[in-house]
């Protein structure tokens, strides 16, 4: 190949035209070497653009090796990544032998790492930051080529020419090494030494590759950092309330199972619903963050298992009060009976007092048992129960100071009269407020473009199709599809949960009945509920996450990307 002249034809620094303009000028139009340089410059620019747009590390590493082999006509390429004072082989290609290991192939490379000792050519290049061009590895004693020679002996391959270039990023950090073997003549296919022209160009490409790897690592690190933040938030809620923590994990897993089944589905109306890996990742993070607002919800409300429970169950106060009233009634009756005996009252009057006292004690004990019963959460408290509670609340007694007190305080009456569940309306509003707080918290996070929908997805899981949901009162198509999906999985998990102290887990048939009732009330999306039931989503989730031998994932990211 023709070599450039001494430089007499190159433009000096004072000329206005760029080097590229000079090369493309008419006077150089017929110069084959200039044409070759233009091709290489254009190719290098194309490679740079391709590398800069790739952030998946395995894909990026494979693209680097593919491009550098094409660029230099190399038959084989080994890409080393520097880690812990060693060079680890992360990708190996050999065109003649049809070998492609590492990268997107996923095929494991069972080759030991290279120690950073100068006798090894790749280690020398990494340590010194200089390129090495060897015409024939069998005709030099500069380095120890035991490894390539052993490979040749084992496989029948013949390593001859070798070009090894350092991969250093913009901060001059050693990222790794590119090792190219056997340059091929593009016309004849014979093995030739690597042209000196390739050294600087390959170094440039290796530098671009190092910067691209650094960028990919930084992006990967930021994603891992954010995912760790999500885990920390979920862990904080878990530590605050194991019940809610379990709920978050289960909703996330159930949501992803349903999304995966929707993605595989080919039947109407969801035949066109598909999720890219990025969309799966976005949905998983959103499902892990859907209840982060509960970090501000008082734990006594989250875990309220009895109607009178706050930090502790206040039914104990009522129980002590009723025992006091019973004992006081017994004491007053005994004192009256003693006075009647002293006064010589007839036996009939004394017996009548005893019967009246026994009746009063029996009624008081029944009231005590009734209050304890009403303290238990129920699916629906009948009107007659509330009427009797109100009658009890109107009864009074005198305390030790002689002050008249009600059997039940207004707050106790209000909580015991809760018709459904264990929380009153005020507590319900505090619970519901977690959705708005979730939105407020997520609004303060500068999500990347790929995660920008997380607030919309996570904040919409309590919205209803009829517009009567919360916190924004969205309706119909205003609710994102992922929010509608999460609404179904959130309710299904809440109904089937086995760790709620205030209720028992419902059987699936009853859960399905409730979901269909909510569809009839225009609260949940009909098609999503039908899909959830007909495709047995919950059973698939159970098999995957709740069977004894299933590995329950606690990670918010399904990407499993590896940092080289």
* Cβ count within 10 A of residue 454: 23
Tell me, what's the pLDDT at 552?
44
Q: Please give the mean pLDDT across all residues of the chain.
A: 85
CA 254, chain centre distance (Å):
13
DSSP string over 288-351? HHTTGGGGGS-HHHHT--STTBSSSBTHHHHHHHHHHHHHHHHHHHHHHHHHHHHTT--HHHHH
3-state secondary structure at position 397 = strand
Name the nearest CA neighbour of 538 among 501, 507, 514, 504. Answer: 507
Tell me, what's the pLDDT at 48?
66
From 137-141, 215-219, 318-322, the region with the lowest mean pLDDT: 215-219
Q: Which stretch, 187-201, 232-246, 433-447, 471-485, has highest mean pLDDT?
A: 471-485
Q: What would the pLDDT profile of 143-153 be if each residue is shown by its tens digit?
A: 999 989 999 99
Could you tell me where the beta strands, DSSP code E, fall in 401-448? 404-406
Mean pLDDT over 105-125 rounds to 87
Give yes or no for residue 186 having a pLDDT over 70. Answer: yes
Q: Distance between CA 307 and CA 549 in Å, rounded?
A: 38
Give yes or no for residue 469 having a pLDDT over 60. Answer: yes
Q: Distance between CA 546 and CA 548 in Å, rounded?
A: 6
Q: Distance between CA 217 and CA 561 in Å, rounded?
A: 10
Band (243; pLDDT cuts 50, 70, 90)? low
Q: Distance between CA 465 and CA 443 in Å, rounded?
A: 23
3-state secondary structure at position 423 = coil
Contacts 24+ apart (CB under 8 A), 514-520: 515/488, 515/491, 518/491
Name the nearest CA neighbour of 234 among 304, 301, 291, 297. Answer: 291
CA 318, chain centre distance (Å):
46
Band (108; pLDDT cuts 50, 70, 90)? confident
Q: Is residue 205 within 8 Å of 44, Cβ to Cβ?
A: yes
From 110-119, 220-229, 255-264, 445-454, the region with the lowest mean pLDDT: 220-229
Q: Distance between CA 301 and CA 148 in Å, rounded?
A: 68
Give yes or no for residue 403 having a pLDDT over 90. Answer: yes
Tell me, what's the pLDDT at 34?
64
Name the nearest CA neighbour of 88 among 69, 115, 108, 107. Answer: 115
Q: 55-216 sits in which CATH class? A: alpha beta
Tell me, what's the pLDDT at 150?
92
Q: What would the pLDDT profile of 486-544 be if each residue is shown by its tens digit?
A: 999 999 999 998 766 656 789 999 999 999 999 999 999 999 999 999 999 999 999 99
- 379 contact partners, CB below 8 Å, separation of at least 6: 420
Give yes or no for residue 238 having a pLDDT over 60. Answer: yes
Question: How many angstroms separate the Cα of 521 from the Cα of each of 443, 467, 490, 516, 526?
Answer: 31, 11, 17, 9, 10
Tell me, what's the pLDDT at 15?
42
Report percent pLDDT > 90 for the chain. Answer: 57
Record the tokens describing residue 479, joined without a space. Answer: 């609710």
> Which H or E run contains 519?
helix 508-520
Q: Distance between CA 217 and CA 230 in Å, rounded?
A: 20
Q: What would the pLDDT profile of 37-70 be if each residue is shown by its tens digit?
A: 666 667 666 666 666 666 677 777 788 888 889 8
> Which H or E run contains 496?
helix 481-496
Tell me, what's the pLDDT at 44?
67
- Tell me 478's DSSP state: G
Signed CA dihedral, 132, 134, 138, 141: sign only: negative
Give yes or no for residue 16 having a pLDDT over 50. Answer: no
pTM for the full model? 0.66
Higher per-residue confidence, 300 vs 216: 300
The number of C-alpha atoms within 13 Å of 528 and in the hemisphere containing its C-beta is: 25
Band (75; pLDDT cuts 50, 70, 90)? very high
Tell me, what's the pLDDT at 196?
86
Contacts 24+ apart (CB under 8 A), 106-114: 106/58, 113/83, 113/86, 113/87, 113/88, 113/89, 114/80, 114/86, 114/87, 114/88, 114/89
Q: 241-300+426-546 sits in which CATH class? A: mainly alpha
- The alpha carbons of the chain give a radius of gyration, in whole angstroms, of 38
Q: Per-domain residue ranges for the chain?
A: 55-216, 241-300+426-546, 315-422
Report percent pLDDT > 70 for the chain. Answer: 85
Name the nearest CA neighbour of 560 among 281, 260, 255. Answer: 281
By CB neighbour count within 10 A (0-12 exposed, 13-18 middle, 19+ buried), where does 29 fall? exposed
Q: Which residue has the tokens 């409730």?
A: 514
Band (105; pLDDT cuts 50, 70, 90)? confident
Q: Which stretch, 6-20, 99-113, 505-519, has highest mean pLDDT?
A: 505-519
Record the tokens describing residue 553, joined without a space. Answer: 């994932």
Phi, psi of 509 (to 5 degrees): -60, -40
- Tell me 162's DSSP state: E
Q: What would the pLDDT profile of 367-376 be if each residue is shown by its tens digit?
A: 999 999 999 9
Q: Distance between CA 92 and CA 81 in Å, rounded?
A: 12
Q: Distance between CA 288 and CA 253 in Å, rounded?
A: 9
**CB environment 219-244: b (16+ within 10 A), e (fewer):** bbeebeebbeebbebbeebbebbebb
Question: How many angstroms separate the Cα of 183 from the Cα of each of 46, 99, 137, 157, 423?
Answer: 22, 17, 13, 14, 76
Q: What would the pLDDT profile of 247-290 be if each residue is shown by its tens digit?
A: 888 999 999 999 999 999 999 999 999 999 999 999 999 999 99
Band (294; pLDDT cuts 50, 70, 90)? confident
Mean pLDDT over 461-474 rounds to 96
Band (1; pLDDT cuts 50, 70, 90)? very low
Phi, psi of 310 (to 5 degrees): -125, -110
Q: Distance between CA 321 and CA 333 in Å, rounded?
A: 18
Band (165; pLDDT cuts 50, 70, 90)? very high
Tell me, what's the pLDDT at 410?
96
Q: Is residue 196 within 8 Å of 32, Cβ to Cβ?
A: no
Higher per-residue confidence, 140 vs 8: 140
Band (483; pLDDT cuts 50, 70, 90)? very high
Name the nearest CA neighbour of 196 among 160, 157, 165, 158. Answer: 165
Q: Is residue 113 within 8 Å of 88, Cβ to Cβ?
A: yes
């Amino acid at each position: 190949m023709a070599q450039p002249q001494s430089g007499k034809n190159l433009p000096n620094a004072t000329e206005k035209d760029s080097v590229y303009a000079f090369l493309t000028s008419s006077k150089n139009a017929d110069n084959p070497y200039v044409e070759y340089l233009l091709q290489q410059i254009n190719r290098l620019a194309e490679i740079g653009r391709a590398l800069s747009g790739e952030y998946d590390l395995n894909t990026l590493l494979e693209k680097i090796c593919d491009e550098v082999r094409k660029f230099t006509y190399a038959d084989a390429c080994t890409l080393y990544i520097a880690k812990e004072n060693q060079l680890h082989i992360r990708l190996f290609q050999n065109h003649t032998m049809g070998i492609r290991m590492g990268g997107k192939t996923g095929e494991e490379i069972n080759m030991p790492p290279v120690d950073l000792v100068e006798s090894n050519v790749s280690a020398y290049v990494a340590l010194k930051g200089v390129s090495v061009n060897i015409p024939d590895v069998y005709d030099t004693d500069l380095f120890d080529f035991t490894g390539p020679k052993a490979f040749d002996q084992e496989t029948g391959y013949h390593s001859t020419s070798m070009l090894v270039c350092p991969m250093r990023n913009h901060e001059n950090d050693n990222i790794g090494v590119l090792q190219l073997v056997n340059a091929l003549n593009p016309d004849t296919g014979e093995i030739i030494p690597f042209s000196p022209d390739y050294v600087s160009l390959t170094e440039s490409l290796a530098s671009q590759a190092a910067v691209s790897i650094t960028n990919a690592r930084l992006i990967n690190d930021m994603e891992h950092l954010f995912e760790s933040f999500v885990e920390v938030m979920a862990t904080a809620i878990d530590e605050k309330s194991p019940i809610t923590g379990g709920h978050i994990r289960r909703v996330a897993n159930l949501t992803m199972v349903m999304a995966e089944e929707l993605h595989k589905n080919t039947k109407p109306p969801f035949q066109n619903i598909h999720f890219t890996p990025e969309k799966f990742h976005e949905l998983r993070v959103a499902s892990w963050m859907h209840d982060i607002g509960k970090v501000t919800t008082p734990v006594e409300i989250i875990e309220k298992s009895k109607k009178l429970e706050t930090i502790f169950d206040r039914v104990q106060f009522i129980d002590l009060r009723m025992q006091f009233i019973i004992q006081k009634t017994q004491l007053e009756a005994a004192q009256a009976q003693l006075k009647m005996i002293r006064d010589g009252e007839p036996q009939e009057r004394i017996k009548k007092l005893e019967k009246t006292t026994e009746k009063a004690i029996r009624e008081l004990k029944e009231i005590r048992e009734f209050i304890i019963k009403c303290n238990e959460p129920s699916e629906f408290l009948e009107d007659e129960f509330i009427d009797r509670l109100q009658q009890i609340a109107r009864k009074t007694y005198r305390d030790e100071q002689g002050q008249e007190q009600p059997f039940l305080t207004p707050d106790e009456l209000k909580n015991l009269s809760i018709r459904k569940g264990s929380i009153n309306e005020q507590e319900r509003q505090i619970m519901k407020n977690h959705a708005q707080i979730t939105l407020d918290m997520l609004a303060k996070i500068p999500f990347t473009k790929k995660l920008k929908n997380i607030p919309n997805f996570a904040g919409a899981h309590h919205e209803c199709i009829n517009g009567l949901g919360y916190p924004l009162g969205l309706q119909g198509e205003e609710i994102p599809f992922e929010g509608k999906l999460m609404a179904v999985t959130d309710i299904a998990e809440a109904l089937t949960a086995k760790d709620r102290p205030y209720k028992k887990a419902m059987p699936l048939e009853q859960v399905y009945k409730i979901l269909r009732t909510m569809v009839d009330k225009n609260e949940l999306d009909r098609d999503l509920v039908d899909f959830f039931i007909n495709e047995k989503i919950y059973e698939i989730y159970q098999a995957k996450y709740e069977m004894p031998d299933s590995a329950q994932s606690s990670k918010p990211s399904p990407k499993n990307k590896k940092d080289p």
